[in-house]
């Protein structure tokens, strides 16, 4: 199920310090939204709050479901998944085994690895989408940095995640890997929703459908790439960094 993400008056406070300070955000299904802002703006904390990792007040709705107050695994069960800056894959297992395990979340790993005869449709589709088909029998630990990130995204796809939250997916990538990642995100956003925390402005210009700029825990500006770039408040914040 895909659904709009509706955030209202979101606040996250750490020991009296307000990291997210009354954020309203609407992300429609199929959006490819970039979240930008200077270091410490609250981007990661906002994503943490959506996924159940940071205690927050206000409201975060995915379709009809209120997410705040749900533990992480119950947020995940609604079809919301994220990646972190460092890819977390099983290095000793092959690409295919990593995807199998993600697809069969909840089933015993031994059974999954032993019983696989045919590649399940969703796993084959994820291999194809992420461009990893030719690498499916390689241990994940041998993959290039970019391929590991794509595998991690593939692991969300096979879990039927509808809202993907990606934390700096192109950090450390080569130019070619960035281009491939941009194309991958656009393919994914054809029928899912993607939110990307990003610092790389060239990547943003090439890939984003919409942009939200956070500053000091608040939404500073929002719109298309062109609208946000033309906003004097955004220029001020970035020049003042």
Q: Site for ligand ADP (CB under 6 A): which residue of 1, 8, 9, 40?
A: 40
- Could you tell me where the DSSP H helices lie in the chain? 43-51, 72-76, 95-103, 109-115, 121-130, 145-158, 175-188, 201-207, 225-230, 232-239
CB of 41 to ligand ADP, least distance (A): 4
Judged by beta carbon, residue 17 or residue 190, the one nearer ligand ADP is: 17
The reply to whether 84 sits near ligand ADP by the rule CB under 6 A is no
> What is the full DSSP assignment across 124-187?
HHHHHHHT-GGGTTSBGGGS-HHHHHHHHHHHHHHTT-SEEEEESTTTT--HHHHHHHHHHHHH
Instruction: Answer for the pair 96, 139: CB distance below 8 angstroms, yes or no.
Output: no
**CA pair distance 221, 226, nearest whole angstrom:** 12
Judged by beta carbon, residue 44 or residue 193, the one nearer ligand ADP is: 44
The reply to whether 52 sits near ligand ADP by the rule CB under 6 A is no
The reply to whether 181 sits near ligand ADP by the rule CB under 6 A is no
86: phi then psi, degrees, rounded to nearest 5: -100, 125
Q: Under rule CB under 6 A, how many of the chain's residues touch ligand ADP?
A: 11
The reply to whether 211 sits near ligand ADP by the rule CB under 6 A is no
For residue 53, the Cα-to-chain-centroid distance in whole angstroms is 14
Judged by beta carbon, residue 41 or residue 165, the one nearer ligand ADP is: 41
Of 12-20, 72-80, 154-162, 230-238, the segment contacting ligand ADP by CB under 6 A is 12-20
**CA pair distance 128, 106, nearest whole angstrom:** 24
The reply to whether 146 sits near ligand ADP by the rule CB under 6 A is no
The reply to whether 55 sits near ligand ADP by the rule CB under 6 A is no
Q: Crossing angle, helix 175-188 and helix 121-130, to 10 degrees?
A: 140
The reply to whether 19 sits near ligand ADP by the rule CB under 6 A is yes
The reply to whether 39 sits near ligand ADP by the rule CB under 6 A is yes
CB of 60 to ligand ADP, least distance (A): 15
The reply to whether 43 sits near ligand ADP by the rule CB under 6 A is yes
By the criterion CB under 6 A, which residues form the site for ligand ADP? 14, 17, 19, 37, 39-45
């Amino acid at each position: 199920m895909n659904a709009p993400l509706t955030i209202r008056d979101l606040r996250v406070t750490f020991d009296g310090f307000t990291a997210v300070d009354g954020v309203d955000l609407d992300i429609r299904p199929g959006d490819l939204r970039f979240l930008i802002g200077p270091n410490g703006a609250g981007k990661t904390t906002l994503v943490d709050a959506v996924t159940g990792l940071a205690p927050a007040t206000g409201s975060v709705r995915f379709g009809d479901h209120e997410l705040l107050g749900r533990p992480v695994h119950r947020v995940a069960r609604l079809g919301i998944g994220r990646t972190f800056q460092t890819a977390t894959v099983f290095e000793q297992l092959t690409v295919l085994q990593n995807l199998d395990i993600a697809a069969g979340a909840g089933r015993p790993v031994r059974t999954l690895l032993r019983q696989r005869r045919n590649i399940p449709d969703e796993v084959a589709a994820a291999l194809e989408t992420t461009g990893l088909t030719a690498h499916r029998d390689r241990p994940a630990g041998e993959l290039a940095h970019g391929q590991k990130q794509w595998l991690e995204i593939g692991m969300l796809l096979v879990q039927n995640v509808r809202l993907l939250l990606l934390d700096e997916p192109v950090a450390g990538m080569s130019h070619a890997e960035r281009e491939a990642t941009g194309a991958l995100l656009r393919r994914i956003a054809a029928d899912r929703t993607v939110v990307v925390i990003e610092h790389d402005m060239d990547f943003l210009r090439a890939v984003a459908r919409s942009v939200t700029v956070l500053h000091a825990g608040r939404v500073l500006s929002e719109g298309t790439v062109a609208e946000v770039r033309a906003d004097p408040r955004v220029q001020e914040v970035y020049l003042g960094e």
